[in-house]
Amino acid sequence: MPEKIIPKKKKKELNFRDITTCDATIQMLEKAKRDGVETAFDRAANMKACPIGADSACCKHCSMGPCRLNAKDPYGKVGVCGATIDTIMSRNFARMVAAGGAAHTDHGMSMLDLFRDVVKGEITDYKIKDPIKLDAVAKSVGVETEGRSMEDIALDLYAELEKTYTQVDGEIPFANRVPAKTLEVWRKQGIVPRGAMREIMELMHRSHMGVDQHYANITKQCSRTALADGWGGSMVATEISDILFGTPSPIGIEVNMGVLKEDQVNIIVHGHEPNLFESMIESVNTQSLIEEAKKAGAKGINLCGMCCSGAEVLVRHGIPHAGNFMSTEAILVTGAVDVMCVDVQCIKQGLAKVADCYGTQLVTTNPRCHIEGATHVEFHEHDPKACTDDVVIKAITRFKNRTAEVEIPQIKNIGVHGFSHEYIKYMLGGTFRASYRPLNDNIINGRIRGVAGVVGCTNPRVKQDFVHVELVKELIKNDILVVQTGCSQIALAKNGLTTPEAAVLAGPGLREVCETVGMPPVLGIGSCVDNSRILIACAEMVNEGGLGESIADLPVAGAAPEWMSEKAICIGQYFVASGVFTVFGVKFPIVEETKFHKHLFQGLEEEGMGKWGYTADPYEMARMMIAHIDKKRKQLGIDKARERVLMDMADRQKLDVA
Ligand code: BF8
Ligand code: SF4
């Protein structure tokens, strides 16, 4: 019988300018096309997102299903067990919060494990780099510091912070950083986290078939779990990383693919754990390895970061950053990357194939993340250089044997990053009166209209970087100071908005503040885990006085315009539960006009928290955030001050012109 020939479906042709605004990525996608190499952009174009899943209208929590409901008639049908659309959507949402929270808290716990072993002297390759921060964090959780040795303080701090993860009853240690009125709301709702492990476990339990079947009650445990991440696991990760590796302060660094060097051994570290990167920095600076590289004909070893661990070492050490999430495959197309070394989170499996096409070695290092086709060199903190030296040697060998044609986009930009909340305090207040007073005063007098956190991923379902950049431009034009983390900050850095010179793009009030202080209107503060720095800054603004009593009173808003990961959902939920209006782009996994939708997008605010917002359009997003900030200014009674200050400025400008 003749074989039936099924014609292969023709793949969609991509117009690269429609899918990214990053010129370096466009150049590499063009090369990939010539080379016949596929990336996530191609796969996204050829994979229609499942419309039922996109609305979160399906459930596969048991084998009586999977059950599909109709988003167009959400109450017309229930699952086999009787689960309603609200139960199904809230359980799906809960699983995303649980997974996202688990990723951050597992990462944070690894940092804390490392800290413990360093303090006990069992790990000697790392040490406490910032004893001042150690002291400050210890004091903040009630550890006695007066007249005690650094080791004793650190051991007590470890014991205290471990509760963040393992405590089964009570409140996590950093709950004491939460402004009193915000904490009161949480207590009333019963959502103060006990310990992250307990909260994640309970959330997984409650979202199992046949357990919690009230969307509002499920949302409560979502908030509690998310708060265990923001004010718990992530905050500990940030604080411990600062203690071990140094607290960031502003530094000018090159970003984008032009940081690769054709005549050097190029190593990219991509992932989330700073311990791997710190050891890699040691390895690439080891004299014998540098000589090896030279013997292989290279001018040196060039270490660059990508995604979040890239963002962390960028703010701590000024290591160049080669790009964000949607550029990780594209950069391999340069042929110039000798090794891409990864650990955990946001590592696309597709990297393995692209790396293979260009003879690049993809090296996994963490026991939690192996990839078929990649080389695994396990990283142990007790002997970190065994792994990272090996990675460098592999990179040198690949450099020697490079066969791939090398093409590096000659595109790079300078960004200034590293605005820890401690530095923001110092920058605005000066050495003698480091405080948030000047920030609050400038908000009260109206020069700064409000503060926005713009964070999160890039996503092939929307034009890479476009939504981030347009949104941030709109915000600063309207006198809103922007703080940034993760892949979003790299989008802005690539577009030159993280430099003090970008103040010219800001509205007159914000521009005046930026020019006086010499700061950019867009402040890059680190990785996604460092969103905890934004929470601390919010708490400091409340405590400083004059802007209300709870975080929900502040004229602030948040956004993740190109989000893709479950971590982003968890982050969004902890900002909302903390009192912040948070707008997401791309697609929100929910059916609009349902009870669960109303609860997230309105009900939580009525309970004294923040609320969710959604739009894929950057200008509409800016409008929503500005409207919220103005609403808060009005409630605080500071809306008139802004009108006065802008009138003053107009008068002054007229005088200048005359
Ligand atoms: O934690 S911003 S794509 S790299 S999830 Fe991932 Fe999103 Fe980038 Fe970091 Ni955050
Ligand atoms: Fe269907 Fe209910 Fe099972 Fe979900 S839990 S798959 S809705 S029967």
pLDDT of the residue at 532: 97
Residues 6+ apart with CB under 8 A from 303: 267, 269, 280, 281, 284, 319
Percent of the chain with pLDDT strictly greater than 70: 97
pLDDT of the residue at 606: 97
pLDDT of the residue at 367: 97
pLDDT digits (tens, 9 = 90+) for 117-129: 999 999 999 999 9
Burial-class residue 358 by CB neighbours within 10 Å (0-12, 13-18, 19+).
buried
pLDDT digits (tens, 9 = 90+) for 580-635: 999 999 999 999 999 999 999 999 999 999 999 999 999 999 999 999 999 999 99
Q: Which of 322-326, 415-419, 461-465, 552-556 is predicted with the least confidence, judged by mean pLDDT?
A: 415-419
Q: Taking residues 406-410, what's their average pLDDT?
A: 98
Q: How confident is the model at residue 9 (pLDDT cuts 50, 70, 90)?
A: low
Q: How confident is the model at residue 576 (pLDDT cuts 50, 70, 90)?
A: very high
Q: Ligand 1 center to residue 276 CA distance, Å?
A: 17
Choosing from 60, 63, 80, 215 the residue with most ligand 2 atoms within 8 A of its CB, the one to mutate for a pocket test is 80
Q: Ligand 1 center to residue 100 CA distance, Å?
A: 11
pLDDT digits (tens, 9 = 90+) for 523-535: 999 999 999 999 9
Q: Taking residues 544-553, what's their average pLDDT?
A: 97
558: tokens are: 């948040």
3-state secondary structure of 344: coil
Return the exposure string of 307-317: e unless at least 16 CB atoms fall within 10 Å of the residue's CB, then b: bbbbbbbbbbb
Give the residue, 6 or 131, on which the prediction is more confident: 131
Q: Ligand 2 center to residue 99 CA distance, Å?
A: 20
Contact indicator for 415, 253 with CB cutoff of 8 Å: yes
Pick the residue whose CA is nearest to atom 7 on ligand 1: 457
Q: Taking residues 510-521, what's their average pLDDT?
A: 93
Task: Give the ligand whose atoms come closest to the C-alpha of residue 62.
Answer: 2
Residue 655 has pLDDT above 90, yes or no: no
427: tokens are: 């920058």
pLDDT digits (tens, 9 = 90+) for 77-127: 999 999 999 999 999 999 999 999 999 999 999 999 999 999 999 999 999
